[in-house]
Amino acid sequence: MIEAESVKPEKALLISPNLGHPLFLDIDRKFKQEEFEVNLLFVSNIKNTDNFEMFIKHRLSFIPILEYKWKLKAYFEKEKERRLERKKKRSIWDKIKSIFSRKTKKKEEELPPILELTDSTGKKFDIVQAERIESLRPQAFRGALIKGILLKVEPVKTCEIDKVKFDSYYSPRNYLIKYNIYSGLNEFYKATIRFSLSKEVLEFLERFNFVMFDLWQEMPNKEVRVSYHSFVVSKNKWSDFKFFHATDLHLAERNDRIYEIVKKWNASVRESDLGELLVKGAKAVSFFQRLLIKKPEDKIPIKTTEPLRKRFINPNNNFRKFIKLINKKVNKNDLDFVVLTGDLIDFVILSKIPTEKRKSIEFNYKDSNWRIFKEILLNFPQEKRRGMVSGEEILCPIFTIPGNHDYRPFHYDLRWGNLYRKIGLLQNEVIALNNELLANPISSITKSFSALKAYLIEFNSSLDYFLKLGNNNFIFLNTGSDSFKKLMDFLSGHPSVTGISEKHIKYLENIINHKIEPENNTYLMLHGPPINPKKKISSLKRYAMSKPSKELITKIGEFKESLIQKLGKNLSLARIDDKFDVQYGAISTNWEKLLKFCLDFCILTLAGHTHQLKEFRLTDPQDLESKVVNTHTTPFELKKIDNPAAIYYDIYSELYNNPEDIENNAPFVVQTPALGFGSYKNPQSASAFREIVIKKGKLASFKVKYLNR
């Protein structure tokens, strides 16, 4: 007989779609279709389909995410209509009385009947005067609950991306079971749900291009599990749209503490004590750590005259400001979604957790920087610290993939490699971080798939996926964790990433053979870049060129295609793949096959990782037509080619400003600078993102922009 204590309670969790991989549903602009059927992927410990169906039945609801200013305007309009209707119904005697009390009545009419609005979650919003509405910041207002109707349930088996039947939303991957991501839940089900748009949502869609929905799942104990921003109903036909690309956010709880720590340090240090404190700070560094600390370079000056508040770079604040810009764009119907390509967090386990506790940590959400990411995204309450800017809940759908930092369990020391320069600190100021933010040099470079546990549960269970919007294909590939194949790249501060597996290659081949059409535009999203040349040509290659030193150009900036053309030199001189190591700190496996895919099928490949602005153009190495049109007569295969593409370098997003020029010179492979951290030489280069504009079905712009500091 089984003891009652050993019987585990029944559980079922929605895992797809989700916050980092929402499902887009199209609606026509006349709203002829008000009812939708959607499929949801669940993971559970319930082994019987009928029992699972009973467990989730009547417990699923869709919550529309509206906008408070719109809701407030709608409230005033309805209140105005209500008052007019009330006036029409007044008796003759009421009208006579109103003549004698007109002044008092006018004052009463100006006052709203209530002082606040309450959304479906119980959140309260103040009523303000109509003329002040436009000055309000955007806020999410959750509309009335819409009940979902369960139509059917069917069990689902795990499926890998190299299988033709793999579905980006409804095929659970084997890693979810292998790494016990859901703590013993290993039964998967697909549930078909029907829901109808409310009058309130349809009114909202008359003003805005899309509306997002949370999905609420009520548990037997009456608790509610929310899958935030997981559905999007959009009017866009995907011929004219805009999205942002941001990468390398490097969010961490400690980012919000650094300013406060250093500010107190600066206030407490007297000039006479500084030398002694510097000595103590040096003693606190182990021998191994000293090897990682670079000597200050005169070539990298820091403006000591600027106060800390002007030069300190807080990646968390950059992301909060980015969200504010996003919301302004959404309110103007000028943005459709955002792509975040890796290094979403700086490391996983909170640095303030004691060392002893870290040893037994199980990568729980509450103890991780994944919690910080979610709190900033949704503007959940956070401990207020000096230097933190206010936040807003993001009002735009996001698509995410992880980066190499997202696999790193533990924090690193900001003094190593002079990393403190990237956040605008001075050498003497970084000593202030000794007591709280010291790091173990061994654990800091470890990596673990389990570090993604909270990401897979709370954000996105899909590491790789495909999205089709109109005639536009979006492919998201996980380039993996740090790779130690090129150890020197890692030690120099430019680690390569593990790259693309054979399963990824088969996945791309299946997409080519079954989903890409000749008239499509295909966008590839990666964290690790396929191309990343060193700044200078290696000594060995310089010697092989056999040219006098006066005629030899060696720096990457001197090979810009526009510069070579301006000098009237042969265009072949601008080609960089035969002169530079173009795989420096890039993907370390299947490089040739991936680059061939970029050349033949993608108009734009977006990556990050290097924190720098670099852009490349690909052509066929034999100057032949490079575009491959798959006729589907025979399956296409990506084969390894030693020299898959000729590579050229320039800032093409500034050179080409119209769809015709972009199409004629594509494909492009670009790196977007980091949103979180800047570079050593230019810390202020942080807060970058890329704006991608599609007009009449053609890529029209992919320029880099920067947040205002």
Measured distance CA(675)–CA(687) in Å, rounded = 4
Domain locations in the chain?
246-251+314-532+582-706
| 231-281 tens-digit pLDDT | 999 999 999 999 999 999 999 999 999 999 998 888 877 444 555 555 455
Mean pLDDT of the chain: 86
| Residue 83's pLDDT band (cuts 50, 70, 90) | confident
% of the chain with per-residue pLDDT over 70: 83
Each residue's pLDDT tens digit, 189-246 = 999 999 999 999 999 999 999 999 999 999 988 899 999 999 999 999 999 999 999 9
pLDDT score for 545 = 55
Given a cut of 80, is residue 667 above it in pLDDT? yes
Q: Say if residue 667 is preceded by a cis peptide, omega within 30 of 0.
A: yes
φ, ψ of residue 682 to 5 degrees: the values are -140, 80
Helix (H) or strand (E) holding 116: strand 116-118
Q: Of the ranges 51-55, 56-60, 202-206, 577-581, which one carries the lowest mean pLDDT score?
A: 577-581
Long-range pairs for 631-636 at CB < 8 Å and ≥24 separation? 632/513, 635/509, 635/513, 636/509, 636/512, 636/513
**Assign residue 180 a region: left if phi > 0, alpha if psi is -120 to 50, beta otherwise?**
left
pLDDT at residue 98, rounded to an integer: 64
Confidence of residue 319 (pLDDT cuts 50, 70, 90): very high
CA distances from 331 to 137, 140, 379 (A): 10, 11, 18
The 10s digit of each residue's pLDDT in 590-617 is 999 999 999 999 999 999 999 999 999 9
Q: Which candidate, 24, 22, 56, 54, places its Cα nearest to that of 42?
A: 56
Contact 211, 232 (CB under 8 A): yes
Q: What percent of the chain has pLDDT over 90?
A: 61
pLDDT at 632: 53
Taking a C-beta distance cutoff of 8 angstroms, is the pair 472, 238 a contact? yes
Higher local confidence (pLDDT), 573 or 663: 663
Contact 123, 65 (CB under 8 A): no
Neighbour-count burial of 592, counting CB atoms closer than 10 A to its CB (0-12 exposed, 13-18 middle, 19+ buried): middle
Q: Is the pLDDT of residue 560 over 50?
A: yes
Tell me the CA distances in angstroms from 619 to 37, 134, 603, 635, 660, one per residue in order: 44, 49, 12, 23, 17
Q: 3-state SS of 379-391?
A: CCCCCCCCCCCCC
Residue 669 has pLDDT above 90, yes or no: yes
| Segment 470-483, tens digit of pLDDT | 999 999 999 999 88
Q: What is the pLDDT, as a whole number, of residue 1?
A: 35
pLDDT, tens digit (0-9, with 9 covering 90-100), for 162-183 = 999 999 999 999 999 999 999 9
Residue 5 — very low, low, confident or very high, per pLDDT cuts 50/70/90?
very low
pLDDT band for position 288 (cuts 50, 70, 90): very low
pLDDT band, very low/low/confident/very high, at 639 (cuts 50, 70, 90): confident
Kindly report which listed range (90-99, 350-359, 531-540) carries the lowest average pLDDT score: 90-99
Nearest to 619 by CA among 656, 669, 666: 666
- 119-150 tens-digit pLDDT: 999 999 888 887 788 888 999 999 999 999 99
CA distance 194 to 196: 7
Question: Does residue 284 surpass a pLDDT of 80?
Answer: no
**What's the whole-number mean pLDDT along residues 58-74?**
95
Burial (CB count <10 Å: 0-12, 13-18, 19+), residue 667: buried
DSSP state of 493: T
CATH of 246-251+314-532+582-706, one of 3.40.50, 3.30.870, 3.60.21, 3.30.70: 3.60.21
CB 615, CB 651: distance < 8 Å:
yes
Cα distances from 351 to residues 410, 456, 457, in angstroms, run 7, 21, 21
Going by pLDDT thresholds of 50, 70 and 90, the confidence category of residue 487 is: low
* Mean per-residue pLDDT, 459-477: 97
Q: What is the pLDDT of residue 283?
A: 47
Amino acid present at 51:
N
Provide the total of helices (H) and of strands (E) in the chain, helices listed first.
Answer: 22, 26
Gap between the Cα atoms of 551 and 558, Å rounded: 12
3-state secondary structure 636-673: CCCCCCCCCCEEEECCHHHHCCCHHHHHHHCCEEEECC
Separation between Cα atoms, residue 662 and residue 654, nearest integer Å: 11
Which of 168-177, 433-442, 538-547, 648-657 shows the lowest mean pLDDT across its residues?
Answer: 538-547
Q: Assign 292 a pLDDT band (cuts: 50, 70, 90).
A: very low
pLDDT at 454: 97
Q: What pLDDT score was predicted for residue 681?
A: 67
Per the document, the length of the chain is: 709
Under a CB-based contact definition with an 8 Å cutoff, are residues 579 and 648 in contact? no
Alpha helices in 227-338 (DSSP H): 255-268, 274-283, 287-292, 308-311, 315-331
Check residue 569 and give its pLDDT: 87
